[in-house]
Chains A and B, each alone.
Chain A
Amino acid sequence: MTLSAIRRVSGTALPLRGDDVDTDRIIPARFLVSITFEGLGAHAFEDDRRSLSAKGETHPFDDARFQGAGILLVNRNFGCGSSREHAPQALQRGGIKAVVGESFSEIFFGNSVAIGLPCVTLPRETVQELQTLVEGAPKSALSVDLESETLVAEGKAYPVSIPSNAREAFLSGHWDGTSMLLDRFDEVEALAKRLPYIAGF
């Protein structure tokens, strides 16, 4: 099945500062006790949000100024830890359409590609500059263009990076790749027959 291509994501942004934000924080394990991904959007960062709220502070996901934002601005090694796809699912179901950060954990990145959630990277200083911009002016318009590998924020353009495979997958609509893996299944069967631990030692 070829899904729709993803070329560009535009909208307002939500700055979420911090390095090494793990997937347990994005979606705590108790919300994984379910056979569907439904309803996860409401629980993204639930424990972080509650603990800040208890201290009288506001988590960016609860901040009215960032309501409706589609682009998440994060820092280094975002999505590390557990391989739970529930993490990008929770973000996507909560309205996030693209994640812009300094770097991503590999499994989180792969999971995000598989569900059509582009993740692009920028140098640390640039991400911080964008976070500061959006914190000061939450209605700033951002646009991530995968075709030209550019992020435009309030008219200023920044080059972004995305691995060429992932970029190609989004642009061609092949980001949900099962059918691609089934395309030449005879080759898969032939390979299985060559493996000694399947064919027999």
Chain B
Amino acid sequence: MGRTLFSKVWDLHTVRKLPTGQTQLFVGLHLVHEVTSPQAFEMLRARGWKVPFPSRTVATVDHIVPTTSLARPFADAEAEEMLTSLQQNCRDFGVPLHDLGSLEQGIVHVIGPELGLTQPGMTIACGDSHTSTHGAFGALAFGIGTSQVRDVLASQCLALDPLKVRRIDVTGTLAPGVYAKDVILGIIRKLGVKGGVGYAYEYGGEAVQRMSMEERMTLCNMSVEGGARAGYVNPDATTFSYLKGCPSAPSGAAWDRAVTWWGSMASDADAQYDDRVTLDGGALEPQVTWGINPSQSVGVSGRVPKAADAAPEARAQIAEALEYMGFGGGETISGTKIDVAFIGSCTNGRLSDLREASRVVKGRKVAPHVKALVVPGSQSVRAAAEKEGLDAIFRDAGFEWRGAGCSMCLAMNPDRLEGRQVCASSSNRNFKGRQGSPTGRTLLMSPAMVAAAALAGEVADVRPLLGGVR
């Protein structure tokens, strides 16, 4: 009987069965950032522990980074303390740090793949739920909390229970103007925000096979929004071609051996799954969220639901979301006025995202009442975009062109919504208060749809603006 990638990677990294019944799993790559690590390093100090595998650990700074000026010290004294603490911890424990000012700094889930650190067949952990992003390469990648960051720093291992595997086939061909973001929002709507609890999602099918690595990263990134701690795509020629030439990827004769091994880690054709789901990718249109969790979305030509039309069990939650968002229920999602447009985040802050959005805004103008900003996912994305002239396209249209970081996805830096502002956002969470204002409102959509909303000043279908074929 065939095996899944999950089961192959899990078994390969199993050290032993623990007395508690859990599995001791070796972590092949541990990514560290400034928010969830300082307490963990402090616990190591308190117990006199070292980091035994510093070369399997890589740090950067992303969540708190200001995107307008990198002048030190930061205006926020506590943010400054977090950065100096990370720098000190990395020095003390021998952990490599891609620090501010380096071209290799950026959102941890953007730089891992860029640097070729993320590779098929690995186990990858990070104190951040969007670690699922790295599954795009056929790695088993998942978020952990700070006590587990301590565990990995001290032992390079975690105590875990295995996940079940749900295969999700996305069939058909995505229409122009429909992206990986729309696919994952569609999947989460279908399966719910807790549908994936206990599962890893394996994405496949023709639409996924055709996706670029950056699109696969978007897809896997939001697995956790569907409750699945990990999501992955089996490694294939697209994966290998992305990795070829990356700084940390193997080269020479080792490259060929690596490709053979990576390919062998993919799920077997006759692999057994705990569950299977199919989504018709060809039927998807651009998606927009209307509520306060990522399953509350609708196609751009659709309407916001009415609580009364829902099943009795679901009514209270829909009513709560409508009240928070200021919807009456039943209105079209198109035409919803926005105040802010945010393009960026570990979900959609990569070069291809900026290219797609720039196609939409080129030669057009942001609506006068909209504050629009582009925050590249990494310094390297920023530099590559500038080389192509994308910064000029965005600036000419009225967007602000910022430095790299997490920025307004979760507003731990100075970029945040004010009052009840509505933000068209290419990020991953529309939770209450997520973008920094306790009453702020978020509409999740693809970067191209954010661009269209910025121009129109309201939610608008991007497809007429794209023209031609993708």
Contacts and interface: CB of A to CB of B under 8 A. Distances in A.
Given A80-B193, A200-B254, A105 B151 contact: no
Contacts of A178: 47, 49, 150-151, 154-155
A108 B146 CA distance: 11
A176 B254 CA distance: 40
Given A35-B81, A187-B16, A196-B258, A107 B438 contact: no
A67 B49 CA distance: 39
A197 B15 contact: no
B53 A19 contact: no
Contact of B411 (A30, A36, A192): A30
Interface stretch (B105-113, B120-128, B352-360): B120-128
B429 interface: yes
A21 B406 CA distance: 23
A33 B76 contact: yes
Interface in A150-201: 163-165, 168-169, 172, 174, 176-178, 180-182, 184-185, 187-189, 191-192, 195-198, 200-201
Interface stretch (B22-30, B210-218, B334-342, B370-378): B22-30
Interface stretch (B33-41, B165-173, B447-455): B33-41
A188 B261 contact: no
Contact of B197 (A18, A105, A172): A105
Given A30-B411, A180-B18, A36 B24 contact: no
Nearest to A106: B229
A88 B197 CA distance: 18
Contact of B20 (A46, A84, A177): A177
A34 B42 CA distance: 13
Contact of B13 (A24, A83, A191): A191
Nearest to B293: A20
A192 B156 CA distance: 10
Interface string B420-433: 00000000010111
A101 to B, nearest CB: 12
B145 A106 contact: no
Interface stretch (A5-13, A47-55, A56-64, A135-143): A47-55
A25 interface: yes
A76 interface: yes
B78 A33 contact: yes
Contacts of B159: 177, 180-181
Contact of B143 (A33, A107, A182): A107
Contacts of B15: 184, 187-188, 191
Contacts of A37: 39, 146
B434 A24 contact: yes
Nearest to B80: A33
Interface residues of A, number: 65
Interface string B120-153: 0110000111010000000000011111101100
Nearest to A184: B16
B85 interface: yes
Interface of B: 12-13, 15-16, 18-22, 24, 26, 28, 35-36, 38-39, 42, 47, 49, 52-53, 56, 63-64, 76, 78-79, 81-82, 85, 119, 121-122, 127-129, 131, 143-148, 150-151, 154-161, 193-194, 197-198, 224-225, 227, 229, 250, 254-255, 257-258, 261, 293, 317, 320, 410-412, 429, 431-434, 436, 438-439
* A-B residue pairs, 9 tightest by C-beta: A111-B145, A85-B145, A114-B147, A47-B438, A83-B143, A35-B38, A181-B155, A83-B129, A77-B194
29 contacts: A24-B431, A29-B412, A29-B436, A33-B79, A34-B81, A34-B82, A35-B38, A35-B85, A48-B432, A81-B224, A83-B128, A83-B144, A83-B145, A84-B35, A85-B146, A105-B227, A106-B197, A111-B146, A165-B21, A174-B19, A181-B18, A181-B151, A181-B159, A182-B155, A185-B52, A187-B15, A191-B15, A197-B119, A201-B255
Interface of A: 1, 18-20, 22, 24-25, 28-30, 32-37, 46-48, 50-51, 76-77, 80-86, 88, 103, 105-107, 110-111, 114-115, 163-165, 168-169, 172, 174, 176-178, 180-182, 184-185, 187-189, 191-192, 195-198, 200-201
